């Protein structure tokens, strides 16, 4: 069973940078994709970035240029990190980690594309 645990959220100031982490484990396939999503108050959840088991990364247009996704392999599984730079108030959201057992990130970031989710980590950008 895939398990996803996010960490790293909190209160930050406009212009700050933040690094979120997702501890992902329990994959029964060698091919999978792990993505970061966010859901702002009153809005739909949207895909932000994704990395697959071949280390191919994919970014959606919503935050492209300000984010970097990376994947590290540990004895416990994957750590997928999302670095966000130049944070703005509009980045305030709950950030979720999602996973799916195929490597197609361009599909995984679409609505309904992931079928495993973490509980999310809230990010608040405020002066």
Q: What local confidence, expressed as pLDDT, does residue 63 receive?
A: 87
Q: What local confidence, expressed as pLDDT, does residue 125 receive?
A: 98
List of residues 6+ apart from 62 with CB closer than 8 A: 46, 47, 48
Q: Cα–Cα distance between 30 and 4 in angstroms, integer? A: 17
Q: What percent of the chain has pLDDT over 70?
A: 100
Task: Specify which residues 94 forms β-bridges with.
Answer: 39, 122
Q: What local confidence, expressed as pLDDT, does residue 62 receive?
A: 82
Per-residue pLDDT tens over the stretch 99-112: 999 999 988 988 88
* Run of H or E residues at 56: none
Q: What local confidence, expressed as pLDDT, does residue 86 receive?
A: 96
Tokens matching residue 127: 């002066």
Tokens matching residue 100: 């799916």
Q: Classify residue 66 as exposed, middle or buried by CB count within 10 Å of its CB (0-12, 13-18, 19+).
A: middle
Q: Nearest-5° angle of CA 99, CA 84, CA 105? A: 30
Per-residue pLDDT tens over the stretch 25-79: 999 989 999 999 999 999 999 999 999 999 999 999 988 899 999 999 988 889 9
Please state, rounded to an integer, the average pLDDT across all residues of the chain: 95
């Amino acid at each position: 069973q895939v398990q996803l645990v996010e960490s790293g959220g909190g209160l930050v100031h406009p212009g700050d940078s933040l690094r979120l982490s997702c501890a992902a484990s329990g994959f029964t396939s060698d091919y999978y994709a792990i993505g970061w999503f966010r859901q702002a108050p009153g809005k739909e959840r949207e895909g932000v970035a994704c990395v697959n088991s071949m280390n191919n990364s994919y970014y959606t247009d919503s935050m492209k240029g300000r984010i970097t996704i990376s994947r590290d392999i540990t004895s416990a599984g994957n750590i997928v990190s999302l670095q966000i730079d130049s944070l703005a108030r509009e980045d305030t959201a709950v950030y979720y980690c999602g996973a799916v057992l195929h490597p197609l990130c361009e599909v995984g970031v679409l609505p309904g594309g992931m079928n495993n989710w973490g509980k999310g980590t809230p990010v608040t950008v405020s002066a």
